[in-house]
Structure 1
C-alpha cells in the first residue's frame, strides 16, 4: 500500500519566498524524472522564527532520489523545486523572535526538500529555527550534514515509540544502513544489548560499532526489533520479538503485512514517519530537540557517521544522485557547497 499523500500547510514555494534582491546558485528540479539544472534564485531572508543559513553541505538520502523521480507520493514537491532534505552550514542572520542562534554558529538540520519547503541544494536557505541544532564540535559540517534524517528516524523509533530502556535486547534490521547505523549506536548509548543484521561483508562494520552481528533475524526474544528495510524483513521481525510486551518498530512499514504472528506473541507495533513535521508544520521543535541529543552523543564519542569518499560540488548533484542510485556509495553521500 502506498504511503498517504499529506498536503503541506503554510509552506513557502520558490515563488513566494521572501527575497533580498540578491541571487544565489541552486540546483532546480523543473520536471519529475528530469535532471536537476544549475540556476540562480533570489536569496531568501530570515523571516519571523527563521534562521538564514549559508549551506556548506547537503546530505543525500535515497528519498531525495525518489522525490526527483516523482515516485514519492508521500513527499511531493511543487515544481520548480530545490531538493535536499538534510544540511549543515553557518548562520548568516536570525529573524525576529529567534533565540539560541547567532551569526557564525555552525548548525545542522532536516530542513526542507519536501512539501514545498526549499531544500539544501542551494547556497542559502531561510530555515525554521525549530528544525535546527548546533552542529557537533567533534564533526565536520560534511559529517553533520548526513545525520539529521537518519538520527531523527532512529530516535523516533527507539525512544519515542519503543521507549527503549537500559538492559533491553534490541535487534536492528539493516545495521549498516543509514538509519540502521544511527539506531544501533543510539541503542548502545541508551544501555541496550544490541544485535544487528546485515550482509556478511558488513560484519566488521557492525561489530566495530559494538553490536553483535547476525545475518538474519534469529530467535524470538528481542525486547525491541527496529526494521529499516520493510517487506519480508518486517514480516520476519514480527517473529523475532519476544512474547508479552515485545515491540516492533519500522520506518518502512508501507506494504501489506499479516499481523497474526505479532498478535500471537502479545507484542506491539509502531510505524515512524519522520517527514510529518515538515509536511504539516506541526511538531517541528521536537526535531530540533532530537538533534541536540545527536550533538550531545557525537561530542561524547557515542555517535559517528560513515561518509562515501567521493566529493561532489553543487553542480555535480546529478552525478551524486546517480552514484547513490547505482549502489556504489561506501557510506553517506555528501554534496559540498563551500
Structure 2
C-alpha cells in the first residue's frame, strides 16, 4: 500500500511516498481502508520536534492520528464491528502505533466507533481528536443545563466542537475570537462572539454575567491565556484546558476556589489506559451529530495523500478556518 513516511524529523522534514506492507489485524484490531484523515497541531509538533517530544515514533515514521474509512477485515475476537462498517477514530501516529497517512490501517477497535450516518468521510475524519478532547473537558467540568460557558478560541479545532457540544448540553455559550471571520463562525455555530482584541476580560464578565463570572471556561488557547480564564471564571468555577505546559501563578485560582481540568486525550493511546472510553465518546458524538446539534467545519482547502506536506503547511500557516482534511 502507499504511505507517506517521514525519515527524518525537524523543521525541514518532508513526507515521502513509499510502498509498505498492508498490515494484518492482530487480536482486538480492525483492518480499515482509509477514506480520509485530518491534521492536528500535535501531528505538526511531532514532525518538527521528533525525539524532543516523548510521544514521537521512531523514524522512519508513519504519522497521522484521525481517520474515517471502511472496515475490510476483523480480528477473530472482535464482535462489535463487521466488514463493510463505516467507522472513525483517533488511533495512531504516536509512540509504537502506526499512523493514518496510508491507504490502510490496523487499529484497536476500542478506539473506534461507527461513523455518523448523516455526514461524509471527510467530515467524520475531522472529528475524533478534537471531538474527544472537547467532550472530555466539558464532562470533567461537570457541564449542566443552564450554565454559562465561555470557550476561548471558538473558531479553532477543539473550540468549535466544544462550543457546539456545550450548546447541545443546554448551556448558554459565549466564545472569544480575534477577527471578523472567526467571530462570524462563532455566531453561526450558536454562541455569542467576544472580540478579545477589543474587549477586556472584565468588560465581558460584567457584560454577560453581571460580574459573577462563567461557570465553566473551556480554554483551548491555554498557556498565559489561563490567567484570563481564571479571571473570567465564577467562584468555585471550572477551567478545562488543553494547553498547560507553562508556569503560572495560581493565586487567583486559589482565592476563587477554581477546579482545573487538564485534558490530554492521547493518554489512552500512549498508555493503553481505558481505550474503550474513546470509543464510547465517539459513539456519543455520533448521536449528537445525527441529532443535528454538531457539525464539523472543514477548511476550504483539501489535500490528497500525496500532499500531506502541504496539508501540514496549511495548518501551520494559521490561515485555515476549520479542520484541514486529507482525502485518501
State TM-score, norm by structure 1.
0.90
Query: How far apart are residue 47 of structure 1 and its match?
Result: 1.3
CA contact (8 A) 2:216 2:239 kept: yes
Counterparts of 1:1-338 in structure 2 under 5 Å? 24-33=1-10, 34-70=13-49, 73-159=53-139, 161-201=140-180, 202-216=182-196, 217=201, 218-219=204-205, 220-243=212-235, 245-337=236-328
Deviation string, structure 1 residues 201-253 (Cα, Å, up to 9, x no partner) = 1221111111111123432511000100012211110111101x211111101
Distance 2:111 2:14 in 1: 28
CA contact (8 A) 2:155 2:322 kept: no
CA contact (8 A) 2:155 2:321 kept: no
CA contact (8 A) 2:224 2:246 kept: no
CA contact (8 A) 1:81 1:116 kept: no
Query: How far apart are residue 42 of structure 1 and its match?
Result: 0.8
Query: How far apart are residue 269 of structure 1 and its match?
Result: 1.0
Distance 2:70 2:280 in 1: 19
State TM-score, norm by structure 2.
0.93
Number of aligned residue pairs: give it.
Answer: 312
Q: Which stretch shows the higher mean deviation, 42-51 or 217-226?
A: 217-226
Deviation string, structure 1 residues 94-153 (Cα, Å, up to 9, x no partner) = 002111211111100001011120110011110100000000111100000010000100
Aligned-residue CA RMSD (Å) = 1.1
Query: How far apart are residue 74 of structure 1 and its match?
Result: 4.3
Query: How far apart are residue 189 of structure 1 and its match?
Result: 0.5
Distance 1:309 1:195 in 2: 25
Distance 1:230 1:74 in 2: 21
Distance 2:250 2:3 in 1: 45
Unaligned runs of 5+ in 2: 206-211
Unaligned runs of 5+ in 1: 1-23
SS at match of 2:117: coil
